[in-house]
Amino acid sequence: MASSSLLWLCSSNPLISPATHLKAHPRFPIRHRFRCSLVEPLKFENGKPHFPLLTSDPAFPTFLSPNSHFQNDINKHDTRLRIFSGTANPALAQEIACYMGLELGKIKIKRFADGEIYVQLQESVRGCDVFLVQPTCPPANENLMELLIMIDACRRASAKNITAVIPYFGYARADRKTQGRESIAAKLVANLITEAGANRVLACDLHSGQSMGYFDIPVDHVYGQPVILDYLASKTICSDDLVVVSPDVGGVARARAFAKKLSDAPLAIVDKRRHGHNVAEVMNLIGDVKGKVAVMVDDMIDTAGTIAKGAALLHQEGAREVYACSTHAVFSPPAIERLSSGLFQEVIITNTIPVSEQNYFPQLTVLSVANLLGETIWRVHDDCSGGFEPYATLGID
């Protein structure tokens, strides 16, 4: 009734404005009054909106190119999205932010004289969807503790959702009991991340699929295979000469999936017997590699003992060239000496773990998974699925 009277009064007397009438009538509280003119333009807390920086480098999967039909369906200027980086791999976090057209959130991380970690967010995250990029790579304990404190800081700052983006999940190899009185450290770390306050986890190439079941929160598991496959496709290697090799029996499923996407190449398996941690002994080879280009596929390279002995066996069996492909480059000593000894034509890895400058060697090729993780973050943020082509190869959902 009051609103209709107001409209009649304004229409019958053009000299009386609605604002004047509102001031004269205290029945309209201040919170119900409107202001239609903008004094200044809207501000974006994540910086000026702009198109994401994409690259035409063949190291990135072609289905993540700027021509992707899905790109137009995403609001990439959403200021409710925040990305923060720990100290483990800031270069990868910066690449992810560039792909998404955002800026990294401001965060203060320092260590006291006794080694304790201090974390303070330098901007508000209240009600925001926060993504924390922090692989738990060596030093694993330092980076893991830093991630936990970052999660706790975001939870106490009233973030709406907290996603731990863990490109490399440390302690993933301790995922079962192979002997009596062993711990399952992967389950313990999963509990720590959950109890710290994370709402979900985004991981890349977990050592084993059952690790996802250790979390009581949703886990988005993506694979680095599309990045490596896209790079191999750019090389002039005849498909009839290719053979995909699994360095052990445990990696057969991974190698079989890789071979199917690589022109359905044949598969070979290296049978090894392990006598202790980081100690491997190669016994024999299952499959034919004579005169062929062998592509060894594994999820990580630690000391490179397994993959180096496997490459030596492949050369003995008549392989023409040997390529090593791995998502995670842990590179514990003496990995560099083994990988650069001339056994490999090329060692192809991704940047889920930063490679120090002194660990580079001529045969090393580092590919970026920033586009892959960036696209996944958008899909998680917008509650979209990756289960349709061409995103089905991401392994999301």
Domain spans, the chain: 79-175+183-221+371-382, 223-352
- One fold for both 79-175+183-221+371-382 and 223-352? yes
For 328-343, give the secondary structure using H, E and C: EECCCCCHHHHHCCCC
Q: Please give the Cα distance from 8 to 70 (Å, whole number).
A: 49
DSSP states of 288-340 as a string?
--TTSEEEEEEEEESS-HHHHHHHHHHHHTT-SEEEEEEEEE---TTHHHHHT
Paired residues of 245 in beta bridges: 268, 296
| Residue 272: predicted pLDDT | 76
**Pairing between β-strand 107-111 and β-strand 267-276 as defined by DSSP bridges:** unpaired
Task: Identify the three-state secondary structure at position 128.
Answer: coil
Burial of 27 (0-12, 13-18, 19+ CB in 10 A): exposed
User: What fold does the segment set 79-175+183-221+371-382 form as a domain?
Assistant: Rossmann fold (3.40.50)
| Residue 150: predicted pLDDT | 98
Check residue 394 and report its DSSP letter. G
Q: Please give the Cα distance from 87 to 292 (Å, whole number).
A: 42
Radius of gyration of the chain (CA): 27
- Residue in the block written with tokens 């926060």: 130
DSSP states of 34-91 as a string?
-----SS----TT-S---------TTS-GGGSTT-TTGGGS-TT-TTEEEEE-SS-HH
| Residue 275: predicted pLDDT | 66
| Residue 200: predicted pLDDT | 97
Task: Tell me the CA end-to-end span of the chain in Å, nearest whole number.
Answer: 52
pTM: 0.77
pLDDT < 70 regions, the chain: 1-79, 274-280, 282, 385-397
Q: Please give the Cα distance from 242 to 293 (Å, whole number).
A: 5
| Residue 163: predicted pLDDT | 98
Check residue 221 and report its DSSP letter. E
Reported in sequence order, the residue ranges of the chain that DSSP labels E, i.e. its strands, are 81-85, 107-111, 117-121, 129-133, 161-166, 200-204, 219-222, 242-246, 267-276, 279-286, 293-301, 321-329, 346-350, 364-367
pLDDT in tens, 41-73: 434 344 333 334 334 444 445 545 544 444 444
Residues 305-344 as b/e (b if ≥16 CB within 10 A, e otherwise) read bbbbbbbebbbebebeebbbbbbbbbbeeebbebbbeebb
* Cis geometry, peptide bond prior to residue 390 (ω within 30 degrees of 0): yes
| Residue 104: predicted pLDDT | 97
Query: Residue 382: how many CB atoms within 10 A of its CB?
Result: 14
Burial of 387 (0-12, 13-18, 19+ CB in 10 A): exposed
On whether the CB atoms of residues 323 and 295 are closer than 8 A, the answer is yes
Residues 210-233 as b/e (b if ≥16 CB within 10 A, e otherwise) read ebeebbeeebbbbbbbbbbbbbbe
Q: State which CATH number among 3.30.450.20, 3.40.50.10880, 3.40.50.2020, 2.40.110.10 fits the domain covering 223-352.
A: 3.40.50.2020
